[in-house]
Chains A and B, each alone.
Chain A
Amino acid sequence: DVKVTQSSRYLVKRTGEKVFLECVQDMDHENMFWYRQDPGLGLRLIYFSYDVKMKEKGDIPEGYSVSREKKERFSLILESASTNQTSMYLCASSPGGDNQPQHFGDGTRLSIL
């Protein structure tokens, strides 16, 4: 089974802090994704990566950046955390090629105070 591991289940940070959310997958997947999940809005794509050091913006990239230095690891960075970034963050991965489903981690619930 594919295992996508997010480093923290719950995280509390303060406004203005630089925040790192880490995600690791163990199946050598090419594609990795970061979403935020808010009630009534479903999942919204923040950034995705299709190869090491390659990234593209999703639908809501403002206030976020990402890093993919190794194939198995995809980091989401909040450059200067704000209260409106309080949310559930989900990481996912998928193999390359078409028709491949995404596999999700258990999520990180981030609170910015």
Chain B
Amino acid sequence: AQSVTQPDIHITVSEGASLELRCNYSYGATPYLFWYVQSPGQGLQLLLKYFSGDTLVQGIKGFEAEFKRSQSSFNLRKPSVHWSDAAEYFCAVGPGGYNKLIFGAGTRLAVHP
């Protein structure tokens, strides 16, 4: 069965520090992978997506993610975190037909000044 695991429920980093959020997936074929961010009180915003090709993908707000097929992972990174990055981050895998997605449980990021 398809699934997505985000091992870290909460992560706290200092402003200016680097960030890596983990995502592992289980999928029978080549997956389509997404990272979304949810700021408090808002819906989900697409950060980046991977379908094929270069395994390092760039997204908005200075984020990047690397697809590693051998590890079934799609980790999200940012070299220097800003206070405004505090939010919840969701990894998702598809396709499930009609662009359905399976979401992980999310990682809540806190940023200390």
Contacts and interface: CB of A to CB of B under 8 A. Distances in A.
Interface string B66-108: 0000000000000000000000001000010011110111100
Nearest to B49: A101
B17 to A, nearest CB: 25
Chain B facing A: main interface SS: loop
B6 to A, nearest CB: 8
B43 A105 contact: yes
B11 interface: no
A101 B43 contact: no
A22 interface: no
A104 B99 contact: no
Contacts of B90: 42-43
Nearest to A107: B43
Interface of A: 4, 9, 30-31, 33, 35, 40-45, 48, 50, 56, 58, 90, 92, 94-95, 98-107
Contact of B45 (A30, A31, A94, A104): A104
B103 to A, nearest CB: 4
B100 A106 contact: no
Interface string B24-51: 0000000010101000011111100101
Contact of A106 (B34, B43, B106): B43
Contacts of A94: 98-99
A59 B51 CA distance: 24
A42 B105 contact: yes
B98 to A, nearest CB: 5
B32 to A, nearest CB: 6
A33 to B, nearest CB: 7
Contacts of A99: 32, 49, 51, 95, 99
B9 interface: yes
Given A98-B95, A99-B95, A102-B99, A42 B104 contact: yes
Contacts of B43: 4, 90, 92, 104-107
